[in-house]
Amino acid sequence: MDYRVSSSIGHELAMSPRAADYRETPRADDHLTRHVRAWHAEGEPETHDGQRIDVHRRVGGAPLLLLLHGFPTSSFDWHYVLVQDRQHAAVSFDYPGLGCSEKPADGDYSVARVAELAVRLVQEHGEGRSVAIVAHDLGVSVAAELMARDLEGQVGLELVGALLLNGGVVPGEAAREFGEKLLAGGLRGRLGGERRFRHQLEKAFSPDHPLSDELAEDQWALVAFNDGHKAAKQVLRYVEGRGALAERWRGAVREWGKPIHAVWGMRDPIAGPAELDALRGLRPDAKVTELPDAGHYPHIETPDRVNRAIQELTGV
Relative to beta strand 51-58, strand 287-291 is unpaired
Q: Residue 224: its pLDDT value, please?
A: 87
241, with CB counted inside 10 A (0-12, 13-18, 19+), is middle
**pLDDT tens string 228-250:** 866 777 787 877 767 788 899 99
pLDDT above 70 coverage of the chain, percent: 85
For 57-71, what is the mean pLDDT? 95
Domain 9-314 has CATH 3.40.50.2300: no
Residue 78: what pLDDT? 97
Confidence band (pLDDT; 50, 70, 90) for 16?
very low
What would the pLDDT profile of 122-137 be if each residue is shown by its tens digit? 999 999 999 999 999 9
pLDDT at 234: 79
Instruction: Specify the pLDDT at position 12.
Output: 40
- Summarize pLDDT for 24-48 with one digit per residue, the tens: 444 444 678 999 999 989 999 999 9
pTM: 0.89
Whole-number Cα distances in Å, 244 to 48, 112, 129, 171, 280? 26, 12, 32, 11, 22
Q: What pLDDT was estimated at residue 24? A: 45
What is the pLDDT of the chain when averaged over all its residues?
A: 86
Q: What is the pLDDT of residue 9?
A: 41
pLDDT at residue 53 above 90?
Answer: yes
Measure the CA–CA gap between 267 and 270, rounded to whole angstroms: 9
CA 159: distance to chain centroid?
18
For residue 140, the model assigns a pLDDT of 96
pLDDT at 142: 96
pLDDT per residue as tens digits for the range 270-299? 999 999 999 999 999 999 999 999 999 999
Question: What confidence tens digit (pLDDT) does each residue in 149-201 have?
Answer: 999 999 999 999 999 999 988 776 677 677 777 776 554 445 457 888 888 99
pLDDT band at 264 (very low <50, low <70, confident <90, very high): very high
